[in-house]
Amino acid sequence: MSNVVNVVNDVNVVNDKCSYKNRVTNKWNQRRLLDELKVGEALPECYKIQDLYDAKTGPKLFFECGIGRLDVSGKWQMVSGMLRLRDIWNYKKKSVLRKKANKAFDSNRVVTLYVSKVQTDNGRLEVTIDPDVKKKNKKNNKGKKKMISASSLHEGYELEGTVVRVHPYGVFVDVGANRLGLLPIQHVAQLYGRYIRKERGLIEAGLETHARIRVAVSSNQRKRLTLDFTKDVKQQANPKNDTDTDIDNDNDTDDNTITNELDDDQESNGEQDNNDMDEEEDEAAAWAAYAVDEYDDDQDDDEDESIEDSLGLGSY
């Protein structure tokens, strides 16, 4: 009795092993697990399967390198190697870059590539043509703080972060991940039990640029990392004390100051009436800005992952 449990698209799955047919050499090879790879390791007999010259994060090629991973159900999934062309050539004209790439990486020839980055949490593999990548990575990463993969942050995960930008709808926070987190203004208003006047109110609440705060992941969906305050911060916040302080201060002010405060209160009440409408607009603006406010580094290229999946490069 054969142990082959699946044969499809030139792929044989035998028990817990997986082999594939190299369409250039016409040979069957054993597919290796992604988590077994080491940076700098040579990957022989790779061949190009797709090019993406118009990607927002730069032109790149995808290769069949004989690598795979097991998904949560125990099924093998193909892992293609991604080669960033800007790491090789710095031509600005796409036509020139395309010509050079097609000549160097013809689809009908095999090449040896080298592992430059492995991300087992999201099944990502980056490759290079440089055999000295391990030494160069070590030199470039010396003294550089390693970032957390944003995709690994789950709801309730607590972090300490730094406010990097203040906007009308909230603040962007650097939590040491490869994507900024957004602390919406609604969460700040809930913490203090009062209406927050956009940037001014956020700064008055202590959320100015460079401020250090403790936050927890509220949600992490569709590449949107939403933050809230941690439980201990919420427990320490006591709006009642603030209210008592305001009453004492009111007793010490003169009539003109009281009149001004009443005017401010009326203004605040007017803003509060429109708060529900403003929140919807602010929420839309927040996520529109969030799409362009993520880090532009290549630590966790979610855009590439989405493109790869849409092209069918991520699985059999």
Mean pLDDT throughout 78-93?
Answer: 87
pLDDT score of 8: 42
Chain position carrying tokens 């603030």: 242
Superfamily of domain 145-239+281-306: Nucleic acid-binding proteins (2.40.50.140)
On whether the CB atoms of residues 32 and 21 are closer than 8 A, the answer is no
Mean pLDDT throughout 146-158?
Answer: 83
Mean pLDDT throughout 190-211?
Answer: 91
Does 4 have pLDDT greater than 90? no
pLDDT band at 10 (very low <50, low <70, confident <90, very high): low
pLDDT band at 282 (very low <50, low <70, confident <90, very high): low
On whether the CB atoms of residues 220 and 210 are closer than 8 A, the answer is no
Mean pLDDT throughout 52-74?
Answer: 88
Does 156 have pLDDT greater than 70? yes
Does 299 have pLDDT greater than 50? no
pLDDT digits (tens, 9 = 90+) for 89-141: 887 788 888 888 888 898 888 999 999 999 887 788 999 999 887 666 655 55
Lowest mean pLDDT among 64-68, 176-180, 233-237, 275-279: 275-279
Q: Which amino acid is at 78?
A: M
Q: Which two tokens stand for residue 243?
A: 């209210």
Give the chain's largest Cα–Cα span: 96
pLDDT averaged over every residue in the chain: 75
Is the model more confident about 145 or about 294? Answer: 145
Helix 255-273 vs helix 275-293: crossing angle, to nearest 10: 70
Spatial distance between the Cα atoms of 237 and 178, rounded to a whole number of angstroms: 30
Q: Count CB neighbours of 179 within 10 A.
A: 25
pLDDT score of 288: 56
pLDDT digits (tens, 9 = 90+) for 210-238: 999 999 999 988 778 899 999 989 988 76
- For the purposes of burial, counting CB atoms within 10 Å of the CB of 39, is it exposed (0-12), middle (13-18) or buried (19 or more)? middle
pLDDT score of 89: 85
Is the model more confident about 243 or about 35? Answer: 35
Lowest mean pLDDT among 78-87, 141-150, 151-160, 182-191: 141-150
pLDDT score of 25: 84
Report DSSP letters for the chain, one per residue.
---EEEEETTEEEETTEEEEE-TTT--EEEPEEGGG--TT-EEEEEEEEEEETT-TT--EEEEEEEEEEE-TTS-EEEEEEEEEGGGT---S-HHHHHHHHHHHS-TTS-EEEEEEEEETTTTEEEEES-TTHHHHHHHHTTTPPPPBPGGG--TT-EEEEEEEEEETTEEEEE-SBSS-EEEEHHHHHHHHTS---HHHHHHHTT--TT-EEEEEEEEEETTEEEEEE-HHHHHH--HHHHHHHHHHHHHHS-HHHHHHHHHHHHHHHHHHHTHHHHHHHHHHHHHHHHHHHS--SSSS-HHHHHHHHHTT-S--
pLDDT score of 7: 41
Q: Would you kindly state where each structural domain of the chain is located, as residue ranges?
A: 4-142, 145-239+281-306
Buried/exposed 94-103: b ≥16 CB within 10 Å, e otherwise: eeebeeebee
Give the predicted TM-score (pTM) of the model.
0.50
Q: Count CB neighbours of 53 within 10 A.
A: 14
Does 70 have pLDDT greater than 50? yes
On whether the CB atoms of residues 129 and 146 are closer than 8 A, the answer is no
Is the model more confident about 246 or about 2? Answer: 246
Does 157 have pLDDT greater than 70? yes
pLDDT digits (tens, 9 = 90+) for 42-51: 999 899 999 9
Chain position carrying tokens 């290079």: 128
Q: Which two tokens stand for residue 226?
A: 């939403």
pLDDT score of 296: 38
| Paired strand residues for 229 | 215
Does 199 have pLDDT greater than 80? yes
pLDDT score of 315: 41
On whether the CB atoms of residues 267 and 274 are closer than 8 A, the answer is no
Q: Which two tokens stand for residue 28?
A: 């069957």
